[in-house]
Amino acid sequence: MIEFQYSRASNVADAVRQMTETPGAKFVAGGTNLIDLMKMDVERPVKLIDVTRLPLDKVEETRSGGLRIGALVPNSDLAYHPLVERRYPVLSSALLAGASQQLRNMASVGGNLLQRTRCAYFYDIATPCNKREPGAGCSAIGGLNRMHAILGTSEACIAVHPSDMCVALAVLEAKVHVVGPRGRREIPFSDFHRLPGDTPQRETNLGADELITSIELPPRGFAENYTYLKIRDRLSYAFALVSVAVGLEFEEDNIRRARLALGGVSHKPWRNLEAEASLLGKLAGDTAFAEAADIVLHEARGFGRNTFKIKLARRAIIRALSQAARGMPQSHSDKRIT
């Protein structure tokens, strides 16, 4: 048993005030990750500040034609929201590829962003882990690292960020709205999660005293040419070995705009702007797609048991781009492919 206090925040200002007054406290939303971590003695917050009653559960259109998604919107409600299904189907697909229906009913958007890695050593307090205990060492380097990162790794940590939703949010170039004792600010999605470097315990650029209030999607949703491809050990209820989110736009037969993000390969959803730029003006087809994949994986590094992911990621990128180009995210035949 660990002792901790519990209180319910009555409004956003109260949530921030309580957090500021109690260093070492944590917000709790669906609890599907944090409570597990507490049960396993990995996280020991002195206080849980329950944010589930805050009015952050709406999906609203913005004046610029985008969408504002409250931090407490459950993953399942978001996946099935008509505006998301119609305008941002890559986000629906990614959400529905994650966890199970029961978990998605509980899991919040804010909690999904901040879910922690699934590295087995991180959860096993009997083993060294720099993320859990800075300076202790990394058991996964040279250990069981089949699920681990191949891009953006460091000597300190090779863990991956396990979210599916975040890979789609990277492609959509979402913004994260937060509030803290110093006021409100917005964080571009590409700056939200961090690479491990020598501080793997710091996973995001969110302050410990800041609350996520919403995610904002810009108007561009890639509703016609998109895909979310998740490769995993079994067809459901498993984290990604590699996942790929794609959004494409065409001008006649040529690619006019391309976005590509990978999950399961790094400490953050992985985008490579050079690879995206390489697709512009090209005809959709395996030559262009393979070139983009090679750029993405140019600096990939395996650690033994996960080295297979480099080839797997290359194939997954090519397949995901092909599916998106066809406008048939899960299908195989098409005329557009050269």
Ligand X SMILES: Cc1cc2nc3c(=O)[nH]c(=O)nc-3n(C[C@H](O)[C@H](O)[C@H](O)COP(=O)(O)OP(=O)(O)OC[C@H]3O[C@@H](n4cnc5c(N)ncnc54)[C@H](O)[C@@H]3O)c2cc1C
Q: Interface with ligand X includes 165 (CB under 6 A)?
A: yes
List the single partner that 119 binds among ligand X, ligand SF4, none, CB under 5 to 8 Å by kind: ligand SF4
Q: Interface with ligand SF4 includes 157 (CB under 6 A)?
A: yes
Distance CA 176, CA 213 (A): 8
CB of 176 to ligand SF4, least distance (A): 23
Distance CA 13, CA 26 (A): 15
Q: Which of 287, 291, 262, 286 is nearest to 274 (CA)?
A: 291
List the single partner that 200 binds among ligand X, ligand SF4, none, CB under 5 to 8 Å by kind: ligand SF4
**Out of 129, 157, 187, 212, the residue judged to bind ligand X by CB under 6 A:** 212
Q: Interface with ligand SF4 includes 159 (CB under 6 A)?
A: yes
Q: Interface with ligand X includes 81 (CB under 6 A)?
A: no
CB of 189 to ligand SF4, least distance (A): 22
CB of 139 to ligand SF4, least distance (A): 5
Residue type, 154: S
- 243 forms beta bridges with 230, 263
State the angle between helix axes of 308-326 and 286-297 in degrees (0 to 180), rounded to the nearest 10. 140
Question: Which spans in 173-307 are helix H?
Answer: 189-192, 273-279, 286-297
| Positions 277 through 306 that interact with ligand X (CB under 6 A) | none
Distance CA 241, CA 233 (A): 7
304 phi-psi bin (left φ>0, alpha ψ -120 to 50, beta other)? left
Distance CA 96, CA 330 (A): 14
**Out of 76, 108, 139, 227, the residue judged to bind ligand SF4 by CB under 6 A:** 139
CB of 230 to ligand X, least distance (A): 8
Q: 132, 119 in Cβ contact below 8 A? A: no
**Out of 130, 163, 243, 306, the residue judged to bind ligand SF4 by CB under 6 A:** 130
The rounded radius of gyration (Å) of the Cα atoms in the chain is 20
- 32 Cβ partners below 8 Å, 6+ apart? 99, 103, 106, 107, 111
| x/- map, 192-221, ligand SF4, by CB under 6 A | --------x---------------------
Q: For residues 30 and 200, which CB has a smaller minimum distance to ligand X in the complex?
A: 30
Question: 130 is written with which tokens?
Answer: 């720099």
List the single partner that 131 binds among ligand SF4, ligand X, none, CB under 5 to 8 Å by kind: ligand SF4
Q: For residues 74 and 89, which CB has a smaller minimum distance to ligand X in the complex?
A: 74
**Out of 129, 244, 258, 288, the residue judged to bind ligand SF4 by CB under 6 A:** 129
Question: Would you tell me which residues interact with ligand X (CB under 6 A)?
Answer: 26-34, 36, 51, 71, 98-99, 103, 106-108, 110-112, 114-115, 162-165, 211-212, 239
Binding interface with ligand SF4 (CB under 6 A): 117, 119, 121-122, 129-131, 138-140, 157-159, 200
